[in-house]
Chains A and B, each alone.
Chain A
Amino acid sequence: MRLFKSFALLSTFATYFLIFTGGLVRVSGAGLGCPDWPKCFGRWIPPVSLKQLPTEFDPATFNFTLAWIEYINRLIGVLVGLLILGTAILALIYFRKNARILVASLAAALLVAFQGWQGSQVVASELEPFIVSIHTITAFVIISLLIYIVQQVHLIENPTVLINARYPRGSAVLVGLLWLFTIVQVLFGARVRSAIEVEEINYPLYTAREWLVRIGSVDDIHMVLGIFLTVAAAVTGLYIIKKSKTTPSALIQAVWSMLFILCVQIVFGFVLMFAGLPSLMRLFHLWVASLLIGILLFMFTVIKSGEETAYAK
């Protein structure tokens, strides 16, 4: 069990890192650094100089920096894939009778295989914004499954951890709704991002402000929803902390982390709007959203498990 938990935990951290490096590939414009897939310029290890470039590739299309950024992301992707596959194999060995862990582990392994294939489609489509967004959202689903697996194992190992916690009725539903709201907000964010990328492709010499004007009101909706989500999260989180009894400290930390992240996201959003869409901020805005989804899922599972324990009693 300890081995399984280590694998699941490592897979979770590694997947968060992969979401980060994937976003980095996107904002640094290295998505087509390797024009082919799964190889890079016809080689399993990309060329380090023009001398190593196979003759079928035009030397002018080779950019050492971009090729290696993309290649390193692919390598991290393979490592994450192997970790998740290992988790699924261990789930088959240790948790054959635990449907929750087994199904989530197998689903994560299947999705990571799908994600690998999806990566080839991203390259084949020459970074079509919609396909890139599907790639991102699939990563969010994988990370959610992994967090769920880690929590379930933790609860099996520590069955008494939630036993005395009491939450106000409907807390799990409220947090579940917040999670859903966040997913909708992320989808709107993906829509904003895709719309901007389309403008960048069609009007490469416009300023960031002109791109934002051209995409219409979708970014305004995203901003308003973000502020609304922050208020809703603050009210819900503080209500649960105040009204619950013997709240686990992990849940309190999760609530404060959630509120901190939401405030940071609002600041990032304004910086993006008024400072010309800086690449680093684009990267963090998306990545921090993936952390938020994880935290909300964590809160939901903690409360839900607490409620189940209470009813069982």
Chain B
Amino acid sequence: MRNDPFFPKGLLWGILAAMILAAGAAIVIKQAQKSRENLPVLATVPEFELLKSDSSTFNSSDMRGKIFVLDFIFTSCPGACPVMSAKMSALYQYYAHSDKVQFISISVDPERDTPEVLREYAKKQGVTDDRWIFLHGPVEEVKRISEKGFYLAAENLPGGHSTKFVLIDENGQIRAYYDALNDSIMSLLKTQLTALARKLI
């Protein structure tokens, strides 16, 4: 005896089960996505104006509309800075396919880090475009920006700068800090940075 071939009962139950599974899965996927993007707003980027290595000015308001990773370094630093710049360079290369992600390194040693030195340093890091810029300015101003603006240590500059990367969203808000010397944290930075930047696509 044949059942009604156009409406098998098993199929109906299957569709019902699939709908329940779909609803459950949609909730899980949404929660997972939310948990990745859910970075608190820690502070707003301070107002500042510094010089780029081509001597043009860079204003903090220029940071709107893009995601930034920012750090403090100096080119003659023997310890952490080469590691930090290598990590920043890896990020710069990794996001080469998009101009939504930009990088800023602020020199904490303006006396030695002249525009020429910074340009040479950028070249050594493989920088070929404006996605990674190197800023410099009076040391007191840099100290103020670091301590009062980004809440990062800046004792006895240039040696006492922070080794953290700062993640800044498209509204100029500080969203997270990452220890640049920690490899597992760098992969977290990539995940969270990507989650923020994908909203701009």
| Residues in chain A within 8 A of chain B (CB atoms) | 20, 24, 27-30, 35, 58, 60-61, 63-66, 69, 203-207, 241, 247, 249, 252-253, 255-257, 260, 279-280, 283-284, 288, 291
Contact = CB atoms under 8 A, between A and B. Distances in A.
Contacts of B10: 253, 257
B188 A61 contact: yes
A193 B18 CA distance: 22
Contacts of A60: 178, 185, 188
Contacts of A280: 22, 25-26, 29
Interface residues of B, number: 38
B197 A205 contact: yes
A205 B8 contact: no
Contacts of A206: 97-98
B98 A257 contact: no
A203 B97 contact: yes
Contacts of B29: 24, 27-28, 279-280, 283
A247 B2 contact: yes
A65 B31 CA distance: 7
A140 to B, nearest CB: 18
Contact of B18 (A61, A241, A253, A284): A284
Given A205-B198, A279-B29, A283-B25, A58 B3 contact: no
Chain A contact residues: helix, strand, loop or mixed: helix
Considering the complex of A and B, which 5 residue pairs feature the smallest CB-CB distances, nearest first? A28-B32, A65-B35, A205-B98, A253-B8, A204-B194
A204 B8 contact: no
Given A204-B194, A206-B97, A256-B5, A63 B36 contact: yes
A66 B32 contact: yes
Given A28-B28, A252-B5, A20 B97 contact: no
Given A64-B35, A252-B3, A205 B25 contact: no
Contact of A256 (B6, B182, B184): B6
Contacts of B3: 249, 252-253
B100 interface: yes
A29 B101 CA distance: 22
A205 B101 contact: yes
Nearest to B1: A249
A69 B5 CA distance: 39
B166 to A, nearest CB: 14
Contacts of B28: 24, 28, 69
7 contacts: A28-B33, A65-B35, A66-B32, A205-B95, A205-B97, A249-B3, A257-B14
